[in-house]
Structure 1
Amino acid sequence: MFPRYRMVGFCGLPGAAALGRLGTGDPAERADEIEKTARRFAAGREPLPVLELLAVVANSTPGPDGTYRSRTPAATIARFHRLARRRRAMLLLNVQPGRAAVLDEVKALREWLVHPDVGVALDPEWEMGPGQVPGDSFGRTDGHELTSVARYLSGLVEAHDLPEKPLVFHQVATSVVREQSALRPQPGVALVKSADGIGSPGLKRGTWRRLVRELPDGLHTGFKLFYEEDAQGGGRLMTPKEVLALRPQPEYVMYE
């Protein structure tokens, strides 16, 4: 994956505009927009458009199985996979597990993950412990759990002779990922830590510095931009030039 490509994408879910730009309007038009945006971030690399589809969504109610999550229908995932393949883009399946076990949710996506153009994005702020409800407080993961997901993906890559597969985890605060030092890179998996803070350019740079401090070996970086939230309170959206000036330089840029 890296340093050949720079991944640039939108996240979202059809019919849920509040969850990201990918969920608004015609998906083909969003794909056109992603391709144009990705070229602005290339900076000497091959731009790789990304469709980050919410495949597992955390809910504020328990649901019939008490997991506080719902799974996106297979037909929707198939539709976006076809779109990604037509555009030579990467489909990232985003997992907000609620109280479900994150590895179980990733394994449930196996039929898609055996394809060469499908990866995983984890949202651990939505990974709830016993008694926690999504939206009331931040959830969390740790380096051991992230390693277990990476190990599972590595096994798929080896068994199906796949190219390197991205595993992104979005981190909004230092508390969301514990024991980061326990994270172990796995063969065939590109690990990406994406800084998920909201605010003005100055606030986002501060969040970035905190989150990229003492990165483990083999961990790549990503950066998340919010069209609406970053512009609130007198703020503004950072430009590609400003994002590319961050160090280390983000290898995945995602817009919500």
Structure 2
Amino acid sequence: MTRAEEHAAPYRELTEDVVVPSFEIIATIASSSAGRDGQYSNVSTIDHLRPYVDAAAENGMFALLDLQPGRTHFLEQAKLYEELLLEPHVGLALDPEWRLKPDQVHLKQIGSVEAAEINEVSAWLAELTRSNDLPQKILVLHQFRHSMIRNRQDLDTSFDELAIILHADGQGDQGSKTATWEALKQDLPEGIHLAWKNFYDEDIPMLDAEQTFQVEPTPVMVSYQ
């Protein structure tokens, strides 16, 4: 909790918006082995994740459950965490890098997902939010190559119950990161916000808060990995 607050604090001096420290918790973790179910994804239990979710609530923070589904459909994994997503401070993140086709394995191919599959998740999450009178939920989509989200122009952004955020995951020297950012924001469907990721070890150099907020447009979310 202390670490999240330390990262958030410098941004409060740069914006009049409310800055909310948050966790992004990898709930299902890409695996190098198929596992008993053959899906190349290790699934965390709700009991394992609950302490993090509860601690976030107790400290006025937000929590995002990140899915690295392997060969599993994103919606199938999202539904595993319905109990946690019913909490008003819990959102969802989808990581297409780790969404495999039936003949793919992690680290040999970069995964991808069709916009139609994301739309199924969006519709389900929006209905869950609406039917339980929950506040608007964040849905994060990770991306660093155009090929990771196929037919991105077909993403459904019409759900008032969701704030959809495209998370630009580029890393390396700042020239490369800027090029990734500029490429990903081109032809971005209307209604999708942008997020920036700072990598502790991979970025050369890693931006500080003031430099991060000089990115155009200003990110609505900044994460550290």
Normalising by structure 1, report the TM-score.
0.84
Alignment of 1:217 with 2:186, yes or no, is no
Equivalence for 1:173? 145
Conserved in 1, the CA contact under 8 Å of 2:140 and 2:167? yes
Q: Deviations over 1:174-198 (max 9, x none)?
A: 1111101100111200000010011
Could you say which residue in structure 1 is the equivalent of 2:165? Answer: 192
One-letter code aligned to 1:240: A
Letter in 2 for 1:243: T
**TM-score when scaled to structure 2?**
0.95
Residue in structure 2 matched with residue 70 of structure 1 by the alignment: 42
* Whole-Å separation in 2 of the counterparts to 1:239 and 1:33: 12
Match of 2:115 in 1: 143
Listed one character per residue, the Cα deviations across residues 97-123 of structure 1 (whole Å, up to 9, x for unaligned) are: 011111100011100111110000111
Give distance in 1, aligned partners of 2:84 and 2:220: 23
Shift of 1:83: 0.9
Alignment of structure 1 residues 103-182 onto 2, 5 Å: 103-182=75-154
SS in 1 for 2:51: helix
Whole-Å separation in 2 of the counterparts to 1:73 and 1:151: 24
**1:58–1:70 contact (8 Å) kept in structure 2:** yes
Give the Å deviation of 1:254: 0.7
Q: Distance in 2 between matches of 1:74 and 1:136?
A: 30
The answer on 1:205 being equivalent to 2:182 is no
Partner SS state of residue 48, structure 1: coil
How far residue 149 of structure 1 moved from its aligned partner, in angstroms, is 0.9
The alpha-carbon distance between structure 1 residues 255 and 147, as it changes in their structure 2 partners (threshold 3 A), is same
Q: What do you get for the CA RMSD once the two structures are aligned?
A: 1.3
Per the alignment, residue 24 of structure 1 pairs with none
- Deviations 1:29-62 (Å, cap 9, x if unpaired)? 334434435535x512100111100101010100
Structure with more relative contact order (C-alpha pairs < 8 Å, separation 6 or more): 1
How many residue pairs were aligned?
Answer: 224
Structure 2 contact 5–21 (Cα < 8 Å) conserved: no
Q: Does 2:177 correspond to 1:229?
A: no
> 1:39 and 1:215 mapped to 2: Cα distance?
28
Q: Which ranges in structure 1 are unaligned for 5 or more consecutive residues?
A: 1-27
Q: Residue deviations 1:71-127, cap 9 Å, x none?
A: 113222110011100111111000000111111000111001111100001110000
2:133 match: secondary structure? coil
For residues 61 and 88 of structure 1, the distance between their equivalents in structure 2, rounded to whole angstroms, comes to 37
CA contact (8 A) 1:60 1:68 kept: yes
Does the alignment pair 1:83 with 2:55?
Answer: yes
Task: Report SS of the residue matched to 2:179.
Answer: helix
CA contact (8 A) 2:46 2:81 kept: no
Secondary structure of 1:121's partner?
A: strand
Residue aligning to 1:23:
none
Say if 2:11 and 2:210, in contact at 8 Å, map to a contact too: no
When residues 65 and 117 of structure 1 are mapped into structure 2, their CA distance, relative to the original with a 3 A threshold, is same
Measured against aligned partners, the alpha-carbon deviations of 1:122-178 in whole angstroms (never above 9, x if no partner) come to 110000001101121100012212111111110011110000000001102111111
Q: Distance in 2 between matches of 1:242 and 1:181?
A: 30
